[in-house]
């Protein structure tokens, strides 16, 4: 497998770059990637020509348009259409070019808003989605079902991995488009810096009540799960990837406040939406197959904050 040509779509993003590093560190040398300037994955003709020329043996789809509640609400059409374009072009080109293995990465938001916890893979499509991110979720569901259909009809090794909320180095810290954890890191850090300048403890305002519960997975652990899926033939088409442990948003805020050394007040704006009440993943299927996460939340938060501190001058340019 280590001599196979492996194409990692989205290799410049947080997830794709972590996968690229993990494979390199484990002796994979024939890795290929293209920036969005070199290859527009939304363009079917460009993707078709790329596959015809490169002929990859394995494709890992870590490319997507992603964002938090605000971005999903503001750009529903782009989140639906662009994600379907990207994944459909990659899946079809892989199918047509006899790619040996295809690993599709999605998100826990594919599961119903009020599904019983923890979320099992077979609760997919059993009830309605969370409205604040349904556009992205619907796109990812179509990718999961496309991979399942190819697996069923053509007996090909197409597998889908659904990670829980991800964070880590090369995360997106833009307050308009980021997810909750990196947004908190930036807010607490900037409030601490302002406090140091003014001598007055600057408060941090956060959305919602702080009561929803979330599970967080360090991105290098997802990369390790991708490596596991690459090196093993998995018996199911869909696997959750997470820690199986969740905390409240308020508890997360307190952890980040401590790491950033912010000493001001936390103000919760409960006029803003909370999103899904809880999204804990049942990770027993992948655990039974032989994979388990390694990085604790405290350890991962510290690594992520250290990266943020070292990259403050250029983190705004990081694209996912």
**DSSP codes of every residue in 3-51:** TS-EEEETTTSHHHHHHHHHHHHTT---EE---TTT--TT-HHHHHHHH
* Neighbouring C-beta atoms of residue 55, cutoff 10 Å: 12
66-111 confidence digits (pLDDT tens): 776 777 788 999 999 999 999 999 999 999 999 999 999 999 999 9
Say how far apart CA 53 and CA 67 lie, in whole Å.
32
Q: For strands 247-248 and 213-214, give the pairing.
A: antiparallel
Known binding-site residue numbers for NADP(+): 10-16, 105-108, 140, 163-166, 179
175-206 confidence digits (pLDDT tens): 877 789 999 999 999 999 999 999 999 999 99
Class in CATH terms, 6-171+216-244+279-295: alpha beta
Percent over 70 (pLDDT), the chain = 98
- Model pLDDT, residue 315: 57
Q: Could you give the 3-state DSSP secondary structure of residue 308?
A: helix
Any catalytic annotation for residue 136? yes
Out of 136, 167, 239, 293, the active site residue is 136
pTM for this entry: 0.93
274-286 confidence digits (pLDDT tens): 877 888 999 999 9
Sign of the dihedral through C-alpha 22, 216, 284, 144 = negative
Q: How many helices (H) and strands (E) does the chain have?
A: 10, 12
Known binding-site residue numbers for substrate: 187, 207, 214, 274
Q: Do 215 and 243 touch, CB atoms closer than 8 A?
A: yes
DSSP state letter for 200: S
Of 176, 225, 307, nearest to 22 (Cα)? 225
- Model pLDDT, residue 114: 87
Q: What token pair was written down for 44?
A: 């079917």
């Amino acid at each position: 497998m280590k001599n196979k040509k492996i194409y990692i779509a989205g290799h410049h993003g947080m997830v794709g770059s972590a996968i690229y590093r993990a494979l390199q560190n484990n002796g994979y040398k024939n890795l290929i990637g293209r920036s969005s300037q070199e290859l527009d994955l939304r363009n079917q003709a460009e993707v078709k020509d790329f596959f015809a020329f490169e002929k990859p043996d394995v494709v890992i789809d870590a490319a997507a348009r992603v964002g938090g509640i605000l971005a999903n609400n503001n750009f529903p059409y782009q989140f639906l259409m662009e994600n379907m374009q990207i994944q459909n072009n990659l899946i079809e080109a892989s199918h047509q070019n006899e790619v040996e293995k295809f690993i599709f990465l999605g998100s826990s938001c594919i599961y119903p808003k009020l599904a019983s916890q923890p979320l099992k893979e077979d609760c997919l499509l059993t009830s309605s989605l969370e409205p604040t991110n349904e556009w992205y979720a619907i796109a990812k569901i179509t990718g999961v079902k496309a991979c399942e259909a190819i697996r069923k009809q053509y007996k090909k090794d197409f597998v889908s991995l659904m990670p829980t909320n991800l964070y880590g180095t090369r995360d997106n810290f833009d307050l308009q488009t980021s997810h909750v954890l990196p947004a908190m890191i930036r807010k607490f850090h900037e409030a601490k810096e302002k406090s140091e300048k003014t001598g007055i403890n600057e408060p941090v305002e956060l959305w919602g009540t702080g009561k929803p519960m979330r599970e967080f997975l360090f991105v290098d652990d997802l990369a390790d799960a991708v490596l596991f899926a690459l090196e093993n033939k998995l018996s199911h088409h869909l696997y959750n990837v997470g820690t199986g442990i969740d905390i409240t948003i308020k508890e997360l805020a307190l952890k980040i406040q401590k790491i950033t050394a912010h000493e001001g007040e936390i103000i919760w704006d409960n006029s803003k939406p909370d999103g899904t009440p809880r999204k804990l993943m049942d990770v027993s299927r992948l655990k039974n197959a032989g994979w388990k996460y390694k990085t604790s939340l405290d350890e991962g938060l510290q690594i992520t904050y250290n990266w943020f501190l070292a990259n403050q001058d250029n983190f705004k340019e990081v694209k996912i």
